Structure 1
């Protein structure tokens, strides 16, 4: 079976009724999902996510579930960044190694955080830098959220040359992709790469080095074509694989094996 991987999902945001959970599990098994990373967005959500997801989904034989821990750059998180980072650090310290595979998601967002509307730009940069410092301390990769802020994100990343990670839900073009690659980062494409108006994303995907590419759902958001408008879930990552295989002119299984190699190199460390 082809080993599909969803490197970025928010399982705790999916419906948890027994019927819905069983449907998801059946779809994951049918799709052949090998790994899913459940991604954190709040300072104290790691233990709660692990508990709720374990209760809902149990231990899956076919699909391995692992976790990240990070703080999305909301105005509240930026304002209370020092206290929130302390809370995040405590969660990281208590989590068993092997379950926690990354720091994040964290980053810079100029879609929501506007300087002209009083956003704390320096505080946002400091919050991201604090995550990168944690990544150095705990030898973990980082999952970066970057929206309308490629240059600003790169400026912070350049201060931490030993830190590796992925620009998740990549939303820029070829020029920005090459800049992140030059800095040593991976690029991950979500369901929006399948959208009709996403030609710049597909052009970036066409040129991204195969050994630096990942694919994700960002579920429950950004359901791919032909499911656009529905609740996304990790099984739908198959559509990104199919689009990427066509663009890269590769057999689907060959692409999937390369993505698996990239994923394990970055996240599943000894």
Structure 2
């Protein structure tokens, strides 16, 4: 086992930023400092393959490591970005871990003459690539249901999404992998479908449903990841208050769901999620860090090869 090193962090109570500092930094004088014996953070849901990061990916990764990020799970939305995610995982081995899957909402061009709802045909291009890289994957994702009215207008659309999710749940079971799940405006239907399919390991990212519905997922053994947008979301704050810490993981969903609207989110903001959770739960930042990282290791066991507590 690797020995755990103490690191020093400065918590900015107004901006919610957590910054790793050198003990000799002049900013240490009179500052509110937390000295923690820690493992580090895991970003369980991140779109690091997004074009938003093409120009400064190295800087983005470096800055995230500076705040204690140990690993991030790169999720996909469609087959077109699978190879890029695999390439990034090879470029940053032991730090970026790939998850491949088909999102319930797809980007479609006018020429395709179809709505954005995922269909089984969207899996045609995805399945061969998933099969090719199955030994490298830590999860199947991003998959799920999205019943937001602007995307779903009828029961046929909902059933189409269900079929795609069911198939990917089957694939995950065949490969013995967890699911990284999207459930916008469909919390209860998503949890019910996962339970019906016998899914035992699942992460529900940025869950937007009622805490009472989330507790159904807790009873099924599922985990819920919390993004930095919690600082501006009363719903997320209520969710964290209700959820057991033992079922909470961290995420950024970068480049989306940052602490500020219309501003690119980055993996380094993982510490914002952690600090806000510590405030709500009334526990130390160290406790949040250690418990959420252990939760991530339980849910995504392939991370253990890179993260040794």
The answer for the alignment partner of 1:40 in structure 2 is 76
| Farther off after superposition, 35-44 or 70-79 | 70-79
Matched, 1:220 2:255: yes
1:137 offset after TM fit, Å?
A: 0.5
- Which runs of 5 or more structure 2 residues have no equivalent in the other structure? 1-6, 8-37, 106-114, 305-309
1:119 offset after TM fit, Å?
A: 5.4
In the alignment, is the contact (CA less than 8 A) between 1:143 and 1:165 conserved in 2? Answer: yes
In the alignment, is the contact (CA less than 8 A) between 1:9 and 1:216 conserved in 2? Answer: yes
Deviations 1:87-129 (A, max 9, x none): 32211221162x310011111111143334x752211111110
The answer for the alignment partner of 1:200 in structure 2 is 235
Residues 70-89 of structure 1: pairs in structure 2 closer than 5 A: 70-74=101-105, 75-76=115-116, 78-79=118-119, 81=120, 83-89=121-127
Deviations 1:129-180 (A, max 9, x none): 0110011100000011111112221231121224311111111221111111
In the alignment, is the contact (CA less than 8 A) between 1:103 and 1:143 conserved in 2? Answer: yes
In the alignment, is the contact (CA less than 8 A) between 1:172 and 1:201 conserved in 2? Answer: no
In the alignment, is the contact (CA less than 8 A) between 1:173 and 1:201 conserved in 2? Answer: no
- Between the aligned partners of 1:248 and 1:54, the Cα distance in structure 2 is 34
Check 1:230–1:122 CA distance in 2 against 1; reply closer, same or farther (3 A cut): same
Q: Equivalent residue of 1:73, what SS?
A: coil
CA RMSD of superposed structures (Å): 2.0
Deviations 1:62-93 (A, max 9, x none): x61101011111245634x1x33243221122
User: How many residue pairs are counted as aligned between the two chains?
Assistant: 255
In the alignment, is the contact (CA less than 8 A) between 1:24 and 1:235 conserved in 2? Answer: yes
In the alignment, is the contact (CA less than 8 A) between 1:132 and 1:163 conserved in 2? Answer: no
TM-score (norm 1): 0.87
- Between the aligned partners of 1:175 and 1:96, the Cα distance in structure 2 is 35
- Which runs of 5 or more structure 1 residues have no equivalent in the other structure? none
- Between the aligned partners of 1:245 and 1:46, the Cα distance in structure 2 is 35
1:49 offset after TM fit, Å?
A: 2.2
- Between the aligned partners of 1:96 and 1:146, the Cα distance in structure 2 is 24
Matched, 1:127 2:164: yes
- Alignment partner of 2:130 out of 80, 92, 105: 92
* Greater C-alpha Rg: 2
The answer for the alignment partner of 1:265 in structure 2 is 298
Deviations 1:28-79 (A, max 9, x none): 121111010000110342223222x258xx336xx61101011111245634
